[in-house]
Amino acid sequence: MFGWELMCLATSQQTTRSRGSSPDMFACDGRCGQMIGFKILPWTTTPAARWRMSPTHDGTLLWKIELLPNDNSEQLKKREGAWNRPRYFDTVRVTVSLEAIKNEYVLREAVRRAREKHPGSLCVCEYLVFPVEHQQEFWASESGYLTN
Amino acid sequence: MIFPPEVFEQILFELPLPDLMHAAQVSRLFNRITQWHLVNEQYIKRWMLSFQENFGETRYIPLDLEETRKQLSEGNGFYVFDAKIQPISWVNEILHIDVVHLNLRVLTFGLRFLDHGDVKEDELSGRITLCSDGS
């Protein structure tokens, strides 16, 4: 599948997406079937939010991740020098819908089946078989590399 | 022999989420009980997210009952999990730049949903680390 190959190729590349978009995810890191994977890039500013809309219900949130700055971040900024302007955060808030939770179980079952079918493969991401809407709207879109 | 609904409520209460969802398809009564359990604090407070920072230690984030209650009462149907992580500043992180490859350090996080059926008993007995203590 071209899409998965593209995702694998992209694992060594940096991406400029930092906020307000679906997170990046590596497909071949051996952690298929994971509910949400995301990376925080050095230029991410807080508070930041990343989210994914529901593939089945228009205008409905599927999940959202918020990075919240800690209370004493202003003090810490002063301590390290104002010009550095470090961005501190210490809270990750995850809001999930029941649909997102169900999707994870669908993915998990797909991973289990793929591992049974391909016991010798360390990474079974490319063998995952699940409903098309999950592949296109939930899983693949998380990569940030595929567009539908 | 017909059991009163309370018996089914108790039975379904013991089911992890995937089984509960299957049970909801059995009958209208089961579906009603399922819908009730999905907003029942006693049921959903068993839920957790596993949280892995930078492919390292896995910790477990309990449900934020207060915030979830608020979301559910507003009819949004969202469940909220809050995690305190180690404070992160890119001034610290930038020290980890790999000069040879000029790879900026990227923090990678992985989240998984866990119902009580997904967490092994021995983990529940004290080996898990909850994130809510800010550690």
**Domain boundaries, given as residue ranges, for chain B:** 1-38, 47-133
What pTM was computed for the model? 0.67
Per-residue model confidence as pLDDT tens digits over A68-124: 776 655 555 555 554 444 456 677 888 999 988 888 888 778 878 888 888 877 777
pLDDT at A70: 67
Give me chain A's average pLDDT, please.
Answer: 61
Instruction: Say if A98 is an interface residue toward chain B (CB within 8 Å).
Output: yes
Q: Does residue A134 carry a pLDDT above 60?
A: no
Query: Scanning every residue of chain A, which has its alpha carbon at the shortest distance from the alpha carbon of B96?
Result: A42
Q: Would you state the pLDDT for residue A148?
A: 30
Whether chain B has a CB inside 8 Å of the CB on A124: the answer is no
DSSP secondary structure code for residue B132 in this structure? G
Winning range, highest mean pLDDT, from A24-28, A31-35, A71-75, B114-118? B114-118
Residue B36 contacts A where some CB pair is shorter than 8 Å: no
Tell me if A96 and B113 make a contact (CB, 8 A cut-off): yes
Minimal C-alpha gap between A76 and chain B (Å): 9
Distance CA A35, CA B92 (A): 29
Q: Does A32 reach chain B within 8 Å, measured CB to CB?
A: no
Asked whether the predicted pLDDT for residue A37 surpasses 70, the reply is no
pLDDT at residue A12 tops 60 = no
Predicted local distance difference test score (pLDDT) of residue A16: 36
Q: Which of A61, A89, A94 lies nearest to residue B81, judging by beta carbons?
A: A94
Residue with more model confidence, B40 or A58: B40
Three-state secondary-structure class, residue B33: helix
Instruction: Mutation target for B interface from A56, A80, A94: give the one with most B CBs within 10 A.
Output: A94
Say whether residue A127 is in contact with chain B using an 8 A CB cutoff.
no
A38 vs B78, B93, B109: nearest CB: B109
- Per-residue CA distances from B120 to A26, B126, B128 (Å): 27, 11, 10
Pick among A95, A108, A143 to test the B interface (most B CBs inside 10 A): A95
Residue with tokens 């049921």: B43
**3-state SS, one letter per residue, for chain A:** CHHHHHHHHHHHCCCCCCCCCCCCCCCCCCCCCCCEEEEECCCCCCCEEEEEECCCCCCCEEEEEEEECCCCHHHHHHHHCHHHCCCCEEEEEEEEEHHHHHHHHHHHHHHHHHHHHCCCCCCCHHHCCCCHHHHHHHHHHHHCCCCC
- Which tops the pLDDT comparison, B36 or A133? B36
| Higher-pLDDT residue of A147, B12 | B12
Q: What is the reported pLDDT for B88?
A: 59
* Of B9, B18, B72, B65, nearest in space to B37 by CA: B9
Give me B39's structure tokens: 């907003």
- Higher-pLDDT residue of A136, B84: B84
Nearest CA-CA partner of B85 in B20, B130, B39: B130
Q: What chain B residue is nearest to A92 in terms of C-alpha separation?
A: B83
Question: Please, what are the averages of pLDDT over each run of 10 residues along chain B (135 residues)?
Answer: 82 90 91 93 88 67 91 90 69 46 55 70 48 42
Q: Residue B66 is which amino acid?
A: E
Distance CA A140, CA A132 (A): 10
Write down the pLDDT at residue B33: 94
What are the CA-CA distances from residue B5 to residues A144, B12, B33, B57, B117 (Å)? 47, 10, 8, 43, 24
Distance, CA of A31 to CA of A111 (rounded, Å): 9
The chain A residue lying nearest B93, using CA atoms, is A42
Q: In what order do the strands lie in the sheet with B48-53?
A: A36-40, B107-114, B48-53, B58-62
d(CA B71, CA B49): 18
With CB atoms and an 8 Å threshold, state whether B84 touches A105.
Answer: no
Residues ≥6 apart with Cβ < 8 Å to A100: A35, A36, A52, A62, A63, B113
Asked if B75 reaches chain A (Cβ–Cβ under 8 Å), the answer is: no
Amino acid at B63: L
- pLDDT value of residue B114: 79
Q: How far is B32 from chain A (nearest CA, A)?
A: 16
